[in-house]
């Protein structure tokens, strides 16, 4: 590996791992070698994800500088100019793989003007100073002793205009100081650190950010914190569920598609809500480009109310009054409760949250430094229309052909193995956001890993389905991180293979607790969330062919699987008024990675059938009319059908997936 590439990866991953420096996919890095080549971050790539295979482009420095020296580009309309520069930067790339590797950063021309190693970061503490009316005075006080001196550049639109401004500023700086600037402050934008080595760039960045952080802490000591509404955690959770349901509903209506919602009451949000004038600060237009790009500007403000009906009405009216169109993401601050972010996909949602956390910290800090100074309105308009930002923004959106279930949230219990894992993978393949819930946390994480490898989204949560508080807490966490629930698949089950004469009562009770009480608790809490959302939903109980035709030495399994089907029928009657459909799937024997079909269970079955353990699986396949093994995909397909629009008028029914072993009677 080239040393310059090694340095780029080291610099990028170190900076990308620190949310105090960059948020989401923000920030840029570059390194140069002795052959007039520059390794530069690709647009829209998160620095933390940089590796030797992807995340960067290799640019010929001479060709790059030729672009900047072409005065005719300045005469073109902005969008046309950006498109032309994108084409020329692509032609300057010498890694030979075209735009499949991504575009070079919009700031590639600017990086070409600076030293061997360059990092452009967006530290919230530094931007608090750069977004205040007292910027230049504070910079002089904090960094006036730097050698060489820092360079301060007033705000100008990113891309070509910023590069041309920087070209003149750096030329003037070098004439005055006989050296290249190591630190460049960009008004309302961020920090550039330039040096000959990765170590020096990281050291410079750390020193600059450290001084800014200390300055803000000192300023905050003289400010009295604002008191927030006092409430129990259970009351706050109820209000969070209430707001998330309303936001999900209103944005699904605006976009005519499902959205995700996430809640945050972390350090930055708490500090903002405790600040003396949070509502006034929230109404401040965008301070930095990333806030405008990834958060659609300023957060919306909603006053606190303990009245659920009044709070939901206020949330809806606030969002509808502010909506300029169906786009997301958007951030909503509810006083005393926290920040809610709505977005059309997990990556977009997470990036918006990270950038708004930084924006809130900048707002509080800029207020401490004097008065926050927003981006000029013409700059905000430029960002909205920028071809580069539309390109970068599109990289965070969900692509591909969406199914009717795509974008919806599914909770699957028992997702850490066997059918629960298979169903989870099948749902994620259709574009659903899966919550893999299991008492086996490691198993759930393995399911999530497999889904992630295939390009899907999943979240692992550990839960004991027989623990009432644990199940309730699970759904609160799901709502906080995804906004709601559209589908529950109950899969968590046990099957003790014991004859009646030898069946311990404790083993029987345990099966009842997991297979019946567990299904009930998961369904009850899912239905409560779905009812609150007011958009219907689907619950599917994974039962078994044993619910229809009992098997020998399986008292607990036979009884509980039959009970699951009958519970589903009763729930279908109860929940129909809320548009919630409830059905059952009864699979035949599924052996694939099954915890039920363990070596011990197979041995017990072999003894029961009078055959060898090796003959057990072929024996059961031979009992089906189709003489075929049932797989994960077969059962996942049945679940997808029942959850989808094609089954919109099916409820209280039982679908048997067993290759024709038993029949519904």
- Helix, strand counts (H, E) of the chain: 25, 18
Query: Angle at the Cα of 537 (from 435 to 568), degrees rounded to 5?
Result: 90
Place of tokens 């949250």: 353
CA–CA distance, 438 with 451 (Å, rounded to integer): 16
**CB contact at 8 A, 654 and 583:** yes
Q: DSSP readout, 213-271?
A: HHHHHHHHTTSPPPPPPP--HHHHHHHHHHHHHHHHHHHHHHHTS--EEEEE-SHHHHH
Instruction: List CB contacts of 123: < 8 A, sequence separation 6 or more.
Output: 20, 21, 190, 191, 205, 208, 209, 212
| Residue 33 backbone phi and psi in degrees, to 5 | -115, -175
**CB contact at 8 A, 583 and 540:** yes
**CB contact at 8 A, 408 and 257:** no
CA–CA distance, 657 with 419 (Å, rounded to integer): 12
Phi-psi region of 229 (alpha: psi -120 to 50; beta: other; left: phi over 0): beta
Closest to 112 (Cα-Cα) out of 135, 131, 85, 139 = 85
**Distance, C-alpha 432 to centroid of its chain:** 13
CA–CA distance, 12 with 42 (Å, rounded to integer): 11
Query: Euclidean distance between the first and final Cα of the chain, in Å?
Result: 67
CA–CA distance, 73 with 84 (Å, rounded to integer): 8
Coil, strand, or helix at residue 434? strand
C-beta neighbour count of 236 within 10 angstroms: 17
Q: Kindly tell me the sign of the dihedral angle through the C-alpha atoms of 426, 626, 584, 509.
A: negative
CA–CA distance, 141 with 151 (Å, rounded to integer): 14
**CB contact at 8 A, 250 and 315:** yes
- Dig out the tokens for 23 from the structure: 């948020």
CA–CA distance, 118 with 95 (Å, rounded to integer): 20
CA–CA distance, 318 with 303 (Å, rounded to integer): 10
| Residue 340 backbone phi and psi in degrees, to 5 | -120, 130
- Dig out the tokens for 271 from the structure: 């500090």
**CB contact at 8 A, 632 and 422:** yes
Class of residue 65 by CB neighbours under 10 A (exposed 0-12, middle 13-18, buried 19+): middle
Cis omega (within 30 of 0) for bond into 148:
yes
Closest to 439 (Cα-Cα) out of 414, 421, 404 = 414
**CB contact at 8 A, 463 and 491:** no
Class of residue 42 by CB neighbours under 10 A (exposed 0-12, middle 13-18, buried 19+): buried
Describe the crossing of helices 3-16 and 198-220 by its angle, rounded to 10 degrees. Answer: 20
Distances (CA, A) of 571 to 27, 71, 81, 566: 51, 71, 61, 9
Name the H helices within 98-232. 108-111, 124-130, 135-143, 160-177, 198-220
Q: So which residues are the catalytic ones?
A: 557
């Amino acid at each position: 590996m080239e040393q310059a590439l090694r340095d780029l990866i080291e610099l990028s991953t170190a900076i990308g791992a620190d949310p105090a420096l960059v948020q989401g996919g923000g920030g840029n890095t570059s390194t140069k070698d002795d052959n007039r080549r520059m390794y530069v971050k690709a647009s829209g790539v998160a620095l933390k994800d940089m590796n030797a295979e992807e995340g960067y482009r290799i640019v010929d420095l001479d060709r790059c500088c030729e672009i900047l020296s072409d005065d005719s580009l300045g005469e073109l309309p902005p969008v046309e100019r950006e498109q032309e520069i994108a084409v020329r930067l692509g032609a300057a790339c010498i890694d030979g793989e075209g735009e499949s590797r991504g575009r070079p950063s919009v700031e590639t021309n600017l990086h070409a003007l600076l030293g061997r190693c360059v990092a452009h970061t967006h530290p919230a503490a530094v931007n608090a100073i750069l977004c205040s009316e007292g910027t230049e005075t504070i910079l002089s006080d904090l960094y006036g002793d730097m050698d060489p001196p820092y360079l301060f550049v007033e705000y100008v639109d990113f891309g070509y205009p910023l590069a041309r401004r920087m070209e003149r500023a750096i030329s003037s700086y070098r004439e005055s100081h006989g050296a290249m600037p190591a630190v460049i402050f960009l008004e309302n934008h961020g920090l550039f650190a330039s040096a000959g080595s990765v170590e020096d760039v990281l050291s410079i960045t750390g020193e600059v950010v450290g001084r800014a952080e200390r300055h803000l802490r000192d300023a905050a000591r003289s400010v009295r914190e604002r008191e927030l509404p006092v409430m129990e955690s259970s009351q706050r959770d109820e209000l969070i569920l209430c707001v998330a349901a309303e936001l999900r509903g209103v944005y699904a209506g605006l976009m005519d598609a499902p959205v995700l919602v996430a809640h945050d009451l972390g350090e930055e949000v708490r500090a903002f809500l405790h600040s003396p004038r949070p509502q006034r600060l929230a109404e401040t237009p965008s301070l930095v480009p990333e806030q405008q790009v990834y958060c659609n500007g300023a957060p919306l403000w909603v006053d606190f109310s303990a009245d659920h009906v009044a709070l939901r009405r206020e949330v809806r009216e606030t969002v509808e009054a502010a909506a300029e169109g169906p786009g997301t993401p958007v951030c909503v601050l509810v006083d005393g409760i926290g920040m809610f972010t709505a977005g059309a996909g997990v990556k977009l949602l997470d990036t918006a949250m990270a950038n708004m956390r930084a924006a809130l910290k900048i707002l509080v800090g800029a207020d401490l430094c004097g008065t926050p100074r927003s981006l000029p309105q013409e700059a905000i308009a430029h960002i909205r229309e920028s071809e580069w930002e539309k390109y970068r923004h599109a990289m965070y959106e969900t692509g591909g052909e969406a199914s009717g279930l795509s974008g919806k949230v599914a909770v699957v219990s028992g997702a850490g193995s066997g059918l629960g894992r298979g169903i989870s993978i099948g749902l994620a393949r259709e574009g659903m956001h899966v919550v893999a819930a299991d008492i086996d946390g490691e198993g759930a994480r393995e399911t999530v890993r497999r889904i992630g490898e295939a390009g899907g989204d999943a979240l692992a949560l550990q839960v004991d389905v027989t623990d009432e508080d644990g199940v309730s807490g699970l759904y609160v966490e799901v709502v906080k991180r995804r906004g709601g629930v559209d589908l529950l698949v109950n899969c968590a089950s046990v099957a003790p293979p014991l004859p009646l004469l030898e069946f311990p009562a404790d083993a029987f009770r345990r099966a009842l607790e997991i297979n019946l009480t567990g299904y009930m608790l998961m369904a009850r809490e899912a239905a409560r969330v779905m009812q609150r959302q007011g958009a219907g939903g689907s619950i599917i109980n994974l039962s078994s062919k044993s619910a229809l035709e009992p098997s020998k030495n399986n008292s607990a399994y036979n009884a509980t699987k039959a009970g699951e089907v009958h519970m589903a029928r009763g729930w279908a009657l109860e929940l129909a008024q809320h548009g919630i459909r409830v059905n059952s799937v009864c699979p035949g024997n599924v052996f694939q990675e099954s915890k039920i079909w363990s070596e011990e269970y197979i041995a017990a079955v072999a003894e029961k059938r009078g055959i060898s353990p090796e003959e057990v699986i072929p024996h059961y396949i031979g009992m089906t009319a189709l003489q075929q093994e049932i797989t994960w995909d077969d059962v996942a397909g049945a679940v997808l059908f029942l959850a989808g629009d094609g089954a919109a008028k099916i409820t209280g029914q039982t679908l048997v997936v067993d290759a024709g072993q038993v029949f519904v009677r």
